[in-house]
Amino acid sequence: MAGLLGVAGWPSAGAAQPPRIVSLAPHLTEILFAAGAGARIVGTTEFSDHPDAARQVPRVGDAFRLDYERIVALRPDVAVAWESGTPAHAVDRLRSLGIDVLMVRTNSPGDVADALESFGRLAGTEPEARAAAARLRADLESLRREYAATDPVRVFVEIDEDPVYTVSGSHLISQIVSLCGGENVFGELEGVAPAVDLEAVVARDPEIIVSTVGEGDPAARWSRWSSMTAVRLGLIFPLPPDELTRPSPRIVTGARAVCSALAEGRRRLGRR
């Protein structure tokens, strides 16, 4: 289906038939399904495990290594790629094989809602996609209003433990922390997910620690640093990793978990 994409890189109107789609990231697969386009996906990457139907889609590699012969054999019309994650050489190779590539930005909740609508236009499932985008925006706005007048709390976000990685203010998780009334103690750092020294974390003295590591007990990992307020008061909260690290409609579930953790922290800190 040559010429499927318009000059701006997004779906052009009037496609003769729904496209065959290859998804190049798990969160893009989730967004496609949420947009009603799951039946159009002919291939996806490893770890695409939500919803359950995504597990049945043929695999074409992972985020860093694609099986181009497999992709060509699936006869896709378009591949959807993660703007900040899919390697540029993979995009170039797919285009050289005559496959349209749709670059998708998912750096904010608004981007996820926009992607839902764009995938609906691409797949011919606009009513379902628009409804999903509206729900996402409404749910997040409801949380924003609920926590808009709360007292700020200083939050450290742990996304990996060895070495310790956190998120800067530009990361979607940090945006969710802000939505819930938190202040990311490393919000000013450059990059999206920088590594930080343990001593730097201690020096910032977060009042709350939220961890998306997914393995082990974060409270046990941080217990030796008892000078930190979060450790001393036991305000260390494990959070569901996929719902926060994957920029998909499930960020609403992740945002609720963050807001709940921060609300409990405020209560125990004597804040409102």
Q: What string of pLDDT tens digits covers the 272 residues of the chain?
A: 344 554 345 555 455 688 999 999 999 999 999 999 999 999 999 999 999 999 999 999 997 899 999 999 999 999 999 998 999 999 999 999 999 999 999 999 999 999 999 999 999 999 999 999 999 999 999 999 999 999 999 999 999 998 999 999 999 999 999 999 999 999 999 999 999 999 999 999 999 999 999 888 999 999 999 999 999 999 999 998 999 999 999 999 999 999 999 999 999 999 99
- Residue in 251, 171, 217 with CA at minimum distance from that of residue 209: 217
My answer on whether 170 and 131 are in the same domain is no
Residues with Cβ within 8 Å of residue 137, at least 6 apart in sequence? 109, 110, 113
Single out the residue in 138, 173, 199 at which a domain terminates.
138
Question: End-to-end alpha-carbon separation of the chain, Å?
Answer: 56
My answer on whether 185 and 265 are in the same domain is yes
Give SS3 for 152: coil
My answer on whether 242 and 162 are in the same domain is yes
- Residue in 189, 188, 194 with CA at minimum distance from that of residue 158: 194
My answer on whether 52 and 89 are in the same domain is yes
Single out the residue in 114, 138, 162 at which a domain terminates.
138
Domain with residue 38: its CATH number is 3.40.50.1980
Interatomic CA distance for residues 90 and 93, integer angstroms: 5
Tell me, what's the pLDDT at 18? 84
My answer on whether 165 and 134 are in the same domain is no
How many structural domains comprise the chain? 2
**Domain extent at residue 260:** 150-269
Structure tokens at 216: 């082990």
- The answer as to whether 203 is a domain residue is yes
Tell me, what's the pLDDT at 2? 40
- The answer as to whether 64 is a domain residue is yes
- The answer as to whether 4 is a domain residue is no
My answer on whether 105 and 202 are in the same domain is no
Tell me, what's the pLDDT at 12? 52
